[in-house]
Structure 1
Amino acid sequence: MKRNSRWLLVLFTMLFVLLPFTTSASAEPLGDMRQLVKDYYVDDVPESVLMKNTALEITKQLDSHSVYMTAQEYQRFVNGIEKRIIGIGIVLEEDVKGIKVASVIPKGPAERAGILAGDVITHVGTQSLVGKSVQTATSWIGGQENTVVTLTVERTGQTGPLLMSIKREVITMVNVESTMLGGNIGYIRLNSFASETAKEVNAAIQSLHGVKGWIVDLRNNGGGYITVAQDMTGFFPNAIGAFQLREKTGKPQVFNAIPQSNKLNAPTHLLMNGYSASASEMVGAAVKEQKLATIYGQTSYGKGSMQSMFNFTDGSVLKLTTARFYSPGGKAVDKVGVKPDVVTAKELELEVSHRDQLIAQWKGYKAFPKLNNVPVTKKFQVEMNAEMDWSKLSNGDVQLIQLGGGESAVTISVTNERTVTVTPTKPLIAGKTYMLVIHPHWKGTNHYSMRQGIYLDVTVK
């Protein structure tokens, strides 16, 4: 699977459960590690593996998620889960000239240094980024706290490259994002399953009023604490099971959803993609099996294993795969993933979901032909087939909604007895898709009302 879409300037890993296991300290506590692997690793391990001479040699013979971490490595691991990162605060994507800055984290080091969205980073120090992956750029730009990275930046409108030296800092990222999309569709995005996630999602639901549908976004969410998967499933009305775990014995253990004080009490869509992994997949599998929501996107990553943390007195940690998880009813996720109910193109999951949520509200409305490649200054003329009584014309009669975004304000002016002109108060956004909706609120001069509302898609060039 090619992984070159949008990445944050840190690579997050997955953590599921912390088991307090303390033993004697040594340079590498091999004796204790061997016993832990023998007793708790999800599969039987040959004696020849257990007798390897280093922690690395042992874990290399296990699955890719079982690793031995120093105290410093473990702290970075936990920081990733909790969205505390060391970096300069930019989101990156690939570009033919290097690595493009997709967005800049507010108040972070990059913003303070003057980095802008759209800038292209061509070099890190003397290393060229032309033809390099986002992953490579991430490893070069990231580093230790309070160290400085020097970037060469190309910017549209600048005659030459910019040289910027930026100090790396600890940045606490927003984990749960929420907003009201156009048409009163509540949107909640989870970037990780961290310790405060359930509390933050409860607050997000409570803050959004008059919601007619929900979109919960788990795209690019690599997982988190196992109990948060139970919490998240508990936001769905009628949820019972959260997931099933099978340890070394293979005996199924079913864990139920933990009911939450606020619920997603409206038709709900769940967004997933190939980077939705682990705890995200637990929620997706439970939602799909119990028909709690409709899943949009692509098949998830397929990491259906649980890691337990065994702490040693020197601060080092053995992260060991101790179980595999399944849907509450026993359907496998590991190396399979969760398949969406509605498959969408990559990066269009939110637009497709939002559009379907809107259309579901407008039962009986008629779809008109799509308008393609309109200019950002587009005005829309709406012509009726009879003379109209425009005396009670209201701006609320027409909505212009950016798919995946908010509602655009419009003004409506009368052109003649049959025609009105709808004018957005701000330019449309190039490359975006909108939906123009005309509600059946108008009456003709003969006092007959419109028979049905209409809607049409509009793409902006």
Structure 2
Amino acid sequence: MKLLRTYFSVFVSILIFLTATTSYAAEPLDEVKNVVKEYYYKDVPDSVLSSTTIQDLTRQLDPYSVYMTREEYESFVSAIERKLVGIGITIEEHEKGVKITSVIKGGPAEKGGLMAGDIILSVNGKKLAGESVQTAITLITGEANTAVTLEFYRATTNSTSTKTLIREVIELPNVEKMQLAGNIGYIRLNSFSLNAGDEIQTAISSMPGIKGWIFDLRSNPGGYVSAAQDVLGLFPKVQDAFKLTYKGNVSYSYKPIKQKLTWNAPVSLLINSMSASASEMTAVSVKDQQAGKIYGQISYGKGVMQSLFSLSDQSVLKLTTAEFFGPNGTAVQGKGVKPDVLTPIGKELVYSHRDFLLSELKNYTKLPDLKNVPTNKVFTIKMNSSMNWKDLKNSDVSLIELGDKEQAVRIQTSTNKQLKVIPVKPLKSSASYLLIIHPNWKNQHNKKMQHGAYLEVTVRCQR
């Protein structure tokens, strides 16, 4: 038996790896019992250790302790490293089957209409109730260009549907980036893979002149412990990474692994109810040390760590070996991490981007909000005195889609006291915007505006 690696991961992940065949003949049961007895983070009753199969034993431990064949382990590692083949979803166990936690953009599942929150009830007629995530993966996975039929339940419509999808090769970037309006950098990490720290540093270096960073860990299921330490090493204010409590209530504190390049501006961190394990460890460490502001919803609440043990037949036992805590002793297991700013679901990026932008507008006057405007809205700006519009420029007004980029506008004068701001493209349905009037204008007496102004705009939903 050999310890392979420790990691924080709750979902065995992207439901589409390489084909795996499950066979539990000649299980190394005695090896597993010895490992559990020595390393499981809680005392294990003799009744559990007397189980006659590995599956019976692990089911009595916790949801995260699982036995994997060599093929299943290879698929598991491929998931963490984002090397996937399949339909493009992440899953977790559910009493009725397996629950979809996220759907990969452009994958077969999204194209087939599946959504996060859907519960897969059966695969090719095989019911999943009571089955493990590994079993579901085995049933759903297969070679590229082959078909799989899923029966799933959707709670929002209280309906059950059946879809046949074609498995595909899916290229999954682990780090996604974008420069938002106002020189705000956005970086999303999808998995705590071994090279996560390096990939984030590459993204940081590609966006010079950033005034603030938004680090997105929404629906990130976790990954390796060392990757979590690398990621925490990107935060200048993080001096301690986490605490681990092992069997016998033995605790150790761990340091972040300092990186060559760090966040060079204030950081906002995004989490949601599907941010788990390493994501939660990062969030609780940042919160304990006030190293950034956290936006979103309370996270998943998976505060235990697993270790991977290689067995004599090349199978692997994934076993819970420790509970983790924030540097200040803040518990995560069963509680999750509460954000500093609670936001509506799906509005985490909007809120954090808005706060960064407003921090640059402290000397601007806030005008009344405009709510539920149409997508073809034309904005009318009225001044309290006659203006000299001779040097008027389109750049004097900024229309920023929150969570995205600045939108092009045309300015058209109506009278010497009034002008219109016309978006070049229609506004997006249900989107939020900031309309900013910069203090660049002069009145007819050549007196410059004392302050700029801004207003918040929400667009009505159009179906």
Structure 2 length-normalised TM: 0.81
Q: 1:408 touches 1:424 (CA, 8 Å); kept in 2?
A: yes
Q: 1:166 to 1:30 in 2, by over 3 A?
A: closer
Deviations 1:80-138 (A, max 9, x none): 2122333234799xxxxxxx9x98745x6689xx87999xx9x99998xxxxxxx9xx9
Q: Partner of 1:440: helix, strand, or coil?
A: coil
Q: Partner of 2:446: helix, strand, or coil?
A: coil
* Cα distance, 1:139 vs structure 2: 7.5
Q: 1:296 touches 1:340 (CA, 8 Å); kept in 2?
A: yes
The letter for the 1-side match of 2:282 is V
Alignment of 1:428-439 (within 5 A): 428-439=427-438
Q: CA RMSD in A?
A: 3.3
Q: 1:298 to 1:116 in 2, by over 3 A?
A: closer
Q: 1:86 touches 1:142 (CA, 8 Å); kept in 2?
A: no
Q: Among 143, 158, 167, which residue is 1:145 paired with?
A: 143
Deviations 1:230-279 (A, max 9, x none): 11111112221111111113222111112222222222111111111110
* Cα distance, 1:166 vs structure 2: 5.4
Q: 2:112 touches 2:165 (CA, 8 Å); kept in 1?
A: no
Q: Residue 155 of structure 1 corresponds to which residue in structure 2? A: none
* Cα distance, 1:141 vs structure 2: 9.8
Structure 1: how far apart are the matches of 2:217 and 2:383? Answer: 43
Q: Does 1:357 align with 2:352?
A: no
Q: Residue 273 of structure 1 corresponds to which residue in structure 2? A: 272
Structure 2: how far apart are the matches of 1:247 and 1:32? Answer: 20
Structure 2: state its 5+ residue gaps.
1-9, 15-23, 92-99, 126-132, 152-161
Q: 1:378 to 1:202 in 2, by over 3 A?
A: same
Q: Residue 194 of structure 2 corresponds to which residue in structure 1? A: 195
Q: Does 1:57 align with 2:36?
A: no
Q: Residue 302 of structure 2 corresponds to which residue in structure 1? A: 303
Q: Residue 244 of structure 1 corresponds to which residue in structure 2? A: 243
Structure 1: how far apart are the matches of 2:414 and 2:140? Answer: 58
Q: 1:14 touches 1:223 (CA, 8 Å); kept in 2?
A: no
Structure 1: how far apart are the matches of 2:13 and 2:308? Answer: 11
* Cα distance, 1:291 vs structure 2: 0.5
Q: Does 1:422 align with 2:421?
A: yes
Q: Residue 373 of structure 1 corresponds to which residue in structure 2? A: 372
Q: 1:42 to 1:356 in 2, by over 3 A?
A: same
Structure 2: how far apart are the matches of 1:418 and 1:365? Answer: 20
Q: 1:222 to 1:88 in 2, by over 3 A?
A: closer
Alignment of 1:255-404 (within 5 A): 255-404=254-403
Structure 1: how far apart are the matches of 2:139 and 2:387? Answer: 62
Structure 1: how far apart are the matches of 2:163 and 2:65? Answer: 39
Q: Residue 37 of structure 2 corresponds to which residue in structure 1? A: 38
Structure 1: state its 5+ residue gaps.
1-10, 16-24, 93-99, 128-134, 153-162
* Cα distance, 1:292 vs structure 2: 0.5
* Cα distance, 1:35 vs structure 2: 0.9
Structure 2: how far apart are the matches of 1:337 and 1:218? Answer: 14
The letter for the 2-side match of 1:143 is T
Structure 2: how far apart are the matches of 1:405 and 1:73? Answer: 39
Deviations 1:159-183 (A, max 9, x none): xxxx997541332311111101122
* Cα distance, 1:79 vs structure 2: 2.1
Q: Does 1:224 align with 2:216?
A: no
Deviations 1:34-87 (A, max 9, x none): 111111010111222112111011111211111111122222222221223332
Structure 1: how far apart are the matches of 2:442 and 2:313? Answer: 78
Structure 1 length-normalised TM: 0.81
Deviations 1:291-339 (A, max 9, x none): 0001111111111111000012322110001111111122211112111
Q: 2:123 touches 2:139 (CA, 8 Å); kept in 1?
A: no
Q: Residue 13 of structure 1 corresponds to which residue in structure 2? A: 12
